[in-house]
Structure 1
Amino acid sequence: MPIVDNYGRVMAARKGVLVPANGSKWISLIGSNPWREDGFVELGEDYLCSGKFAGVSTPENSLIHFLKRYVGASDVPDTMSAQITKKNTFLLLDWIQRLRRKGVNMPVRFLKCIKEGNWLKVSLNGILGYRPPSQSFLPSSSWGELLQNESVLVDISIIDQSFYGDKINGYKDELRAIGVMFDYNEACQFIGKHLMALAASTTLWLLEMLGVVIGFNQNYKLVVDNLKPPADNISALTAESGLLVLKCLKHFSSSGKIVSAFKRKKFLKTNMGYKAPSESYLFNPQWGCLLEVFNGFPLIDQNFYGTDIVLYKNELKQLGIVVDFEEAAKAFSRVFKQQAEKSSINKDNVLSFLACCRKLNGTAFKFPDDLKKCIRELNGCVLVLVLEKHYDWKLLGFFSNALEVKSHHSLDDFCKLWKVWEVLESGSGEILLVDKRDVFIADDLPLKDLFEQSSCNPLFVWYPQPSLPSLPRFMLLEIYSKICVRNISESVLKEVSTMDGDGLEQVNPSEILIGKGLVKLILGFLAGFSLKMEEEKRHEAVRNLLDLTVIETNDPISIGYSLSLSSGERLKKETKPMIRWDRESKKLFTVKMDRSGGHRKNIEYATCFSEAISEGLLWENEDHIRELAELIKLGFVLEFDEEAIEFLMKTQNLQLFLEDDRFISSAFPTDD
């Protein structure tokens, strides 16, 4: 709504509206409009006056009430620039509360004025006075009295609740917004900042008189004499505290007390959380790759402590941290043996270890003999020998001619080798090699579920789960198709029980809830963001649904499936869906719905109904079948009540377009 400001200008764009200055409360508080640069418009004084136009009279201040209600024109409580009354304090807090509820931010300069102004009544060790909100506290317990005793070096300003009463506790959010502090931790930080400010100034002598030690002066003995072991569960130990322990070890001759206090405490931050020194390792860029082969070595977090941590190598060793290659190699050897015994060394471990071997080759860092022995033990697992590594090149020709050793291996050779390694039975989680005539691509999920447990061998092609970025599932399925692996949907023979004869009755589609509500839901989904189906296609899909002949039967619908394998074995399965959409005959067969069967039967029918309709509509867009089925199932439970469907669509961010409304009107002319 355009408005006229106090300069007579018509303003259409704005962030907020202030009532006219004449008679307002904000003018007495700040004297001028400090929000002008932030988009706040001050109304002109003409809005205060009465008026008469076309025989209609407008009383004085009526327009202001209108603008307060419909435009959001606001005022602030009247107050003085210094010490304000209790009433005006609550008026100010009420005004801030209203702004926060409306989501309107106060201008930075005005907020700063409130935070730093000496207007809040407080108590300082029993003496009343005024302090800025940013230096005041409203404690929720008795800690405020404790901090106001003589042992505290900094005055703590506690809001005078005897002056403001319990009502002040109802404005904690507003008080916090203008800088008031509430917690004991905030009070401690306030005291600490004040003392640090004194320490940074020329008043150090004052702190010294108060008993504060000024300057560390390498006084490590003072630290050690007052040393206490850290807690067992440390979650926020700083880097400086850890380095201080190492400095004490370095500069204090008697280190036994420090070592005994910290050796078994988890105070060191590593890449695996906080660990004790006896569990930790110091990474050395020359040979540290050995500790990265497996994930079980807690490495001290040098990003946390900084590069200075390496200057305390001897002190770290005193605490029990592994810092030398010899000790690290022994630890690696133990882990390597454990992983080898459990057959847990994977491809990444092998590649990382080989890269580390290459890096250490030719250096002074040598593996211990027991590790070399463990690595070189074959245990009958090597099936391929690279002859050129063991024999002179002149003998290779002899091997090829006399012993028929191939110099170049074909794909079939590797497949034969794989056959030797092949897992003999399923259930081990390994990849099996199966004749391509006996495995299928699962392009039909219901058929996959039907046949999956029918054979002792896997019936469906393997693909990694989750899908690998380098080899997506769809790409692997394309490869299977190119080598003539068949789709399950194209390989089964289907036999549907005869539907002609007694027990069949044609019914009105509305009897199974195929009506206006269902069509609205389907059209909204097809036009939604996930599918974005064009108008013509979505109308054609719904028209196919509405053109169906609905046949009701008392007997279950039986569908038999058979799947032939290369061995001559034929797998047979039968299913009895409650509803079946036969696209060829344009008929929808359904078992007679019994609403007296209870919730179990109703939800079962709703599930079958939603799946049959979704699969019939989206047989070319399988990825969206389940999503549509869930919507239809919920709509079925609601009996596709139009008001309920409209609310459901709104919650799913679905809408109908004008062309869809026209289509529905033409499809259901008697409902208009």
Structure 2
Amino acid sequence: HVLLMLNFIQYLRKNHLPSDNFVNSIREGSWLKTSCGPRSPVGSVLNDSRWQVASQISDIPFIDHTYYGEEEIFNYKEELKLLGVIVDLSGNYQVVIDHLKSPCLASLSAEAFLLIMECIRYLKAPSNLLNTLKGVSCLKTSIGFKTPAECFLYDKVWGCILEVFNCLPVIDHKFYGEKIFSYKDELKQIGVVIDFKDAIKKFACVFEQKASETSINQQHVRSLLSCCRLLKGTDYSFPSDFSLIIGKFEWLHTSVGDFRCPKKCILYGPEWKSISSITCLPFIDCNEKCGLDEYKEELKNIGVITELKDGVRFVPECLNFPSDPSTISPESVFSLLECIRSLMEEHKLSIEDGFRKRLSNNWLKTHAGYRSPEKSLLFDSEWSSFLNPTDGPFIDADFYGPKIEVYQKELNAIGVTSDVDNFCSLLASHLESLSDHDTIVKIYLYLHEHNWKPEKNAAKKVWILDGIKGGKWVDSEECIVHDPAKLFGSKFYILEDIYDNNDILRFFHHKVDIKNKPSLEDYVDLWNDWGSSMEQLSYEECCNFWTSISIHLSINEEKKLDDNLLMKLPATSENNEIFLVDKKDVFIPDNLHMKKLFEREKVFVWYPQHNSTALSKRKLSEIYRKIGARNISESVSKEESSLMNDDGKLKYVDPNNIFSLMGLVKLTLGFLACSSLKMEPKKRHEAVQSLLNLSFHETLEPIDVSYSLSLSSGGVITKKANKRVRWESQGCKFIIQKMDGDLGDSWKYATNFSEAISEGVLRGNQDHVPALSELITYGFFLKFKNEEIDFLMESKNLQIDLEDEEFLSSAFPYD
């Protein structure tokens, strides 16, 4: 029936018969079978090959060809068109839009997408289509199908930025063909990034993310730099906000292993070679294949340091000397000094503590090995009269060449010494590393010449020649300059025996504070060392030692030599050998009788054979006493054998038959009255009354006395002596051993007699016994005759008072 109607309409047209009424009457009814079911002719589509693309995206009501027949239906194309059937795609895009299949819009073919672009263009951007497309991954890009808002349309001028990172979805123009570029407006309407301004904003976000993730590699950097070059001179330049991102973020990987912002990075070049060997500068990490050095200008434009003169500010913080300083070339040192010069002159920077600390490594080659600047010296020709460059830690000009002298200012700035004070200190500190005697002497002379003195608490060493090993360094406390007594060779190093230059010796004493001569304490220590290590001394050693002690004992120093310092004293025996004996067992021979009695024993202190001004016996005795030596007279205990019970052997004698008792009493009274005793008459009379109370006896038996000397060891030395007389106080007897006619024996009798009388009379005043004994000895040989006694008293300026005269008269009424 449909075909018949179409045939009828065709007939009417060919015969020019009116058909409008008939066509209008049937065009609204749903009698035409289509792919979408029965439809009215209006809005139905006669399908041909041009509609194949549209059918991919739209559910178009195509006339059922199979039902009506392929050939038959196309014979009535014009008739269908009169009925309202759409027979041509051109100009009929609305039907495509009206029947869109939304699920079919994803992953569109190129033809389908371009058809949609045509629809948008001719239908004036229908909102429903635009909204639908924006939410669908319909565009094929370099990384797959994406939604329009994610996509970029490549631009031949600025499109390079889209190639920096492979994560940006660029529309695949090879897939769509060049025609895609004709739809810029349509693409923009659905959200595709078309303009550079929008593209660079999105690129900036991606760049910032990549930088934060530290995932920008060398190829990314090269691509970005290439893009910078391509955009130069075009209408497209990076906006300021993106330039700030490039400058702020740390996205350039460096040779020190981290990412840094451009202004903290350096592009390596030949001029950096020397300085790079002694630094850890942040060079941009790139291999030869990467070829970033081709983009020197672009790198400079984004802030990277490309010139050495602009990068010297990095050197202080990045200084890093190798562990083996021998690998540092002169060129590297000169390069560093050039940087320091630039820092000081152009950048007005001082050598700060951090930089100075990094410079404190041993990197400067000197004639004393590799040293830090603070321990290095720059040789000056003014010093050549004293020193050679090889005599100290002078910078090795043979290694660096004369060019090193050009950098004196820079070397001084980093601590290399050139002024005299610091020079001397450093030269002195270098001394201990030397072992050549002549060189050491030269340095000592230089230090003396420049009046150098070490710091107060500094450890001081002195070079000492050693015949076996050449020499050695010792503590200054182990040395003295002079040893006048020649005693300290085993205790100190004697510098005058090693150095024959008086200037050096003065330097040691006045500047190094080495003792000029042994002190009193040194002598004390030496003596105690001898006392613990040896028993005997030579005469010369002993004489020199005590002469020195005597000289040392000035008024201010005498207090120091007390009895706690020396434990032993020199003692002699009759063969003149000198022994070191415990001071408790050695005595001062203040009594000649005791001296003779004990002279075979080692109990008496040593005295020089000849008195001298510096060492007289008197002065030496005073020294011994201060040390703790006692007088022999005070140390000996005396024991007399009693004769009281030997009455049968005692014979009473009248003293007047031997001497005048009155003369003896008179002489004694005169001494008691006029000597320093100045005894009152009553006291004098009581003293001599004991003499008057004596009965005198004579015996043929020897009258002996035992003298005992107790030693610290517990031993006792006992000597016996014949005294010839004795005053027995208990029995009021004065016993006399019968005298023979020998004159020498008379002297002994006289001495013994006078001592016995004096000791008996002066009990409690023993200090005056020697004086009275001497006076009585004179009287003994005068037989104490009255006239002779008067002359003797007159010659000694002695006299008695009237009370004494009266006492004598009463005591001797018949004389």
| Shorter-chain TM-score range | 0.3 to 0.5
TM-score by length of structure 2 reads 0.29
TM-score, normalised relative to structure 1: 0.34
If asked which structure has higher relative contact order (CA below 8 Å, sep 6+), I would say 1
